[in-house]
Each structure stands twice: as structure tokens, then as C-alpha cells.
Structure 1
């Protein structure tokens, strides 16, 4: 089953990222874990008049049975700004196919094989891939050793490019998890990768914890269009939750949490 060109060209993630490339800006791709965060992220995007990508780890499929993904997609479809739904760090083939076949997903970060790229393409779903592994730990992310050794090579870029992926998440000194290291980023390498992949593939930036605004801008200037964030937009939510739980009514806690997500995401 070959994908119709117009079906792939109308993919929301691709449209959002191509517009970012052309406009020389980055788009937040934020992980969400619950409805408060989904609602807060969308409100922030609308108030900031900014596009947004809402991301989920595979547990949103296996634990929630896809329910939270469907809720996010419905809310995104009613938003006044472009918003797409992305499945992040999906390594299990069964999860990838289940998402592609049954859920309102616009894009999936896959365990890379040409066959899985084609499977998603046939269903009009964009794909993202990560050569090697990003150093560090996070939900759905496997640890690796050796920061320098894990950097993306030109050979890996060519290999992944040949599969037909739409976005590439290179390793150039960035780290997943609670590390916040910002002094090992190899911008010369990132710029070389951006030139090597050409115009068809967009660059996704992973491991952004601890990045100050000037560093984020530098990554975008070097070619990053999709900016993955997790705690960067959720820290205030969790601080408020921990300090207020049991002290205010549950409904108040929910409303306060939403406001924390809105304000930090807009910032």
C-alpha cells in the first residue's frame, strides 16, 4: 500500500517543522503525562500564538490503552494554532504498529528499520530516528556509555537518511536525563549534519534540560527545528503539586497545575 503524496504532505508534524525551518525558529515538542498537562500545553500554545507538538512515551499506549492520546488529539484538532501528536522513543515494533494502525498519531520516533519507516509512511505518519543512543536516562530511553563515542557519525547520517525518515535526532554532545550539561555541545558537528541531511529531513533536538535561552537559540540557528522538552515545561507543575497536595481541594490543585504548565510553557 503506497502512501498518497497528498496524504503525507498534509501530515501536521511535517507541516509544523517545515514552517519552522523556513521561518528559522524552533517548535516545542513537549512530553505530557496527564490531562492537566495536555490542557496546559495547548492553552499555552494558543496564548503564545505558537505551533506545538505534544509527545507521549509508549506507556501512554500500553497503560492508558491510547485513551490519553485520543484525548490530546481531539483537543489539538480544536486548537486555534497548529498542534500535532507524536509518539516518542517507540522501540517496540508492536507498539509502533498499534499506534500507526489505531491511534490519531501524526508522527512516531521509531526503532529504525526501513520496513518500519515504510509501514508508517503507508499510513501517512511521519517518522523520526535517533542514530545510536543519546547519553543518559529518561522514560523510554536506554543508557549508553561514552559521550564522545556516541556522537552521530556522517556514515550514520547517510544510513538513516536512506531509510526515508522525516526527522533526525543527532547526538552532538546532548544528554537525556537530569544532567543539564551544556558545555560539550559540538555545534560544528551539528551544522555539518544539517548540511548533510539536506532539505527533506528536519533536525530534532533531544536532551534540553538545563539549556538557557541563548543556548537554545544557538541550537536552532544551527538547524534544530523540533525542540524536545520534558521537565523544562513541567518543573513548576510538580513543585506546586508536591507543595499543595492535601492542602487544597483536588479541583483547585488541578486548576493550579494547569496554570503552572501554561505559564512555564509560554516562558
Structure 2
């Protein structure tokens, strides 16, 4: 089926009381696993390609984007294609021609006024191209190996009044908020500021996006969705599943050299992770494998 608009998937999920899972992909195995996992749960999904993934692929956007679009065209569920954490204006301008329907423009590293000015210019350009655009306000730690900010570090939490002004002045379609999650966590031990999520939901009339979600246990994810989060970004959880499966496979088969063997088990492990997470976010409930907190 044709690529789905990201905004429409989010709106439909929110109307049903859930959230859309958006998975960052690096290889073809990631792409196939995300689609297979979403098909197993019969749930729409977003494929995300980050600027860092483009750098890994020798700075070339089209090969991975074309692979994602081709795989999505054969999917049995709606699939959107999103360009994530874009800091380069040159990369931003490649998005429409590469098949992306949405982008996340990331100027959150800049002081507030510079973030606003850069994001407003990006949003004006994106909307003229028919792109849905997400931005970020606050510091979601863990990017590029940096440590997460402390909860009292300036900018470590998104201020609701500032966020409302930022959205109004930039015209963005969604906002990623800093509420306690951290990028690149390999353990599921993070906790969110749920009172802040509810305050942000009350202050804003655009979808709230949660970045750095791999470090959150299921009950934190479902509480975030209940509080107003409608797009949940996940990346490291796939890499953990893939790497663990490959390590186990190779440890038991030191003679193995055919990459299809270990990449195949890695792909299957990622697909199982996708199925579980999209089900959690769609249903707003906690699977039996993880009991809710006391």
C-alpha cells in the first residue's frame, strides 16, 4: 500500500486512546523486522531514518530510504516514513525527493531564541513542500553518547508555557518533549515525570512525542500514553534485541560464517520486540509478561 501520512497515523491512534510506535532503522534487517512485527500485531507503524543513520551509510540518504519505501509498499499494515533528528538543512531539503512524508527538525541544542528561529524557518519550508514537521524543546539526553542531564539542569524538563509559545511561534505539527527519558539506554529502568506530561498535554494542541523510549518499562510507556503522549520513538531496543540474538547464535556456532544465519535471528528478535511494543502502545495496557508497578 502507499506510504501513510505520519500525522494521520498519530491522529487515528490518539482517537483510539493509544500512540504510534516509531522505530529507528539502520539496516534492511531493521526495516523488515519493524514491518513484520507490526504486521504480526496488525498495527500501523512509522519507519524512521535518523541523520546519524544517514552518516553511517556514507552520508547517502536514498539507499535506505528507497529500501524502506519499497518494503512499506508491500506491507499489510499502514507504514509512514519519517526523517528523524535532522540538524542539517541540506539533509532536510532531501526529504521530499526521498519519499519522506514527515521530518523531525532538531535545533534543541541551541538557545531558545535560536531554536525558535531555526525551527520556524524549517517549518515554513517543510509545510511548503507538504511535509509534516516535528521539533524538540528541552534536553532529551543521551544523544551521541552524551550523559543525560540531571532533573534540575536548565532545559532538562520542557516548560509547558514555553512549549505553548514555541509551538505557536514556529507552527510545528508536533513537539518532542523532555520529561525524563534518555536516548540510547540499554536497560529499561527510566522513569518519567507524568505530572509534567499531563501539564504539557493540557497546554498544547499538537501531538506530544516521547524520544528515548527504549529505557522505559512497559508500565511507564502506558502511563505516558494515558497522560497524552501520542508518538513514541524507539531505537536502541531494536539494537539490543538484534545484538543479543546474534551473540547467542555465534556463541553456539563458532564455525558460522554465513551472515544470513546470524542476521536472520537478529531480524526475528527485533520483530518480536516490535510486536510487543506496538501492542503495548496500541492497547494502552501492560502485557502479562510485565506486571504493573505496586
TM norm structure 2: 0.79
Instruction: Write out aligned runs for 1:1-267 (5 A).
Output: 12-62=5-55, 63=58, 65-66=60-61, 67-100=63-96, 102-110=97-105, 111=107, 112-138=118-144, 145-148=149-152, 149=154, 150-162=156-168, 163-178=170-185, 180-183=188-191, 185-198=192-205, 201-245=206-250, 247-248=255-256, 249-267=258-276
1:175/1:181 contact within 8 Å kept: no
Residues 233-266 of structure 1: per-residue CA shift (max 9 Å, x gap): 3322111223434643222223222211111211
C-alpha distance in 2 between matches for 1:257 and 1:24 = 32
1:136/1:177 contact within 8 Å kept: yes
Tell me the SS of whatever aligns to 1:39: helix
Distance 1:93 1:156, change over 3 A: farther
After alignment, is 46-55 or 56-65 more displaced? 56-65
Residues 163-215 of structure 1: per-residue CA shift (max 9 Å, x gap): 111111111222223275534x22111111111112xx111111223322111
After alignment, is 67-76 or 245-254 more displaced? 245-254
Q: 1:3 corresponds to which residue?
A: none
- Structure 2: give runs of 5+ residues left out of the alignment: 108-117, 277-294
1:11/1:126 contact within 8 Å kept: no
Distance 1:247 1:230, change over 3 A: farther
Aligned length: 252
Distance 1:236 1:60, change over 3 A: closer
Tell me the SS of whatever aligns to 1:234: helix
> What is the Cα deviation at residue 133 of structure 1?
2.1
C-alpha distance in 1 between matches for 2:179 and 2:188 = 14
2:4/2:79 contact within 8 Å kept: no
- Structure 1: give runs of 5+ residues left out of the alignment: 1-9
1:52/1:83 contact within 8 Å kept: yes
> What is the Cα deviation at residue 230 of structure 1?
1.3
Residues 117-155 of structure 1: per-residue CA shift (max 9 Å, x gap): 01111111111111032123347xx66744332211134
C-alpha distance in 2 between matches for 1:83 and 1:138 = 27
C-alpha distance in 2 between matches for 1:88 and 1:59 = 9
Tell me the SS of whatever aligns to 1:129: strand
1:135/1:146 contact within 8 Å kept: no
> What is the Cα deviation at residue 158 of structure 1?
2.1
> What is the Cα deviation at residue 98 of structure 1?
2.1
C-alpha distance in 2 between matches for 1:85 and 1:182 = 28
2:24/2:49 contact within 8 Å kept: yes
Distance 1:138 1:53, change over 3 A: farther
Distance 1:118 1:89, change over 3 A: same
Tell me the SS of whatever aligns to 2:95: helix
